């Protein structure tokens, strides 16, 4: 299951919402590796994301950190944990995102929306699998916030 997350071509297919672009400038899925992406509206991928892989256990867990910048300004940082649990009829995925927004609280909504969209698109690719999503917002205060989402497939 984590091999699908390691493949930037597969992630490009299902990670960007339909009206957005996702471009991988670098992709190195291994402990110590990093991905560099540009994303945003088609024709104007104004956001730059950098993901660093901190811990990778194939088909079990991926832990990464992520930064999101625009025009040289840091907008958000996140610690992301993906836990994969095999089941009789597939794999359960639990994604835990711990986010700090340095911009506006909409960054938290952007993470939520982007991750829900990615999992919905992933579900479309594998119609035999089921994905559900629940979101609990932990805190939002004066332009900063954090969220913890659990996505179970």
* Cβ-proximal residues to 92 (8 Å cutoff; 6+ apart), any chain: 84, 85, 152, 153
Q: Which domain holds residue 49?
A: 2-152
Reduce the DSSP state of residue 94 to 3 states and report it: strand
Whole-prediction pTM = 0.76
* Cβ-proximal residues to 41 (8 Å cutoff; 6+ apart), any chain: 19, 20, 21
Q: How many domains does the chain divide into?
A: 1
Q: Per residue in 108-124, pLDDT tens?
A: 877 777 777 776 666 66
Is residue 5 scored above 60 in pLDDT? yes
CATH for 103: 3.30.530.20
Quick count: other Cβ atoms within 10 Å of Cβ 55? 11
For residue 153, the 8-state DSSP code is: -
Q: Per residue in 62-81, pLDDT tens?
A: 999 999 999 999 999 999 99
For residue 16, the 8-state DSSP code is: S
DSSP letters, 79-93, are: EEEEEEEEETTEEEE
Measure the CA–CA gap between 113 and 43, rounded to whole angstroms. 20
16 phi and psi, to 5 degrees?
A: -90, 135
Name residue 84's beta-bridge partners: 93
Percent of the chain with pLDDT over 90: 34
């Amino acid at each position: 299951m984590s091999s699908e997350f390691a493949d930037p071509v597969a992630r490009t297919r299902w990670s960007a919402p339909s009206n957005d672009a996702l471009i991988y400038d670098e992709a190195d899925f291994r402990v110590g590796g990093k991905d560099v992406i540009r994303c945003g509206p088609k024709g104007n991928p104004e956001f730059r994301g950098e993901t660093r892989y901190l811990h990778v256990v194939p088909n079990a867990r991926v832990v990464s950190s992520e930064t999101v910048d625009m025009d040289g300004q840091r907008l958000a940082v996140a610690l992301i944990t993906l836990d994969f649990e095999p089941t009789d009829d597939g794999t359960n995925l639990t994604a835990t995102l711990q986010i700090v927004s340095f911009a506006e609280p909409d960054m938290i909504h952007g993470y939520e929306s982007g991750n829900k969209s990615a999992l919905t698109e992933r579900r479309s690719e594998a119609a035999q699998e089921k994905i559900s999503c629940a979101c609990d917002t932990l805190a939002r205060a004066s332009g900063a916030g954090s969220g913890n989402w659990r996505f179970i497939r």
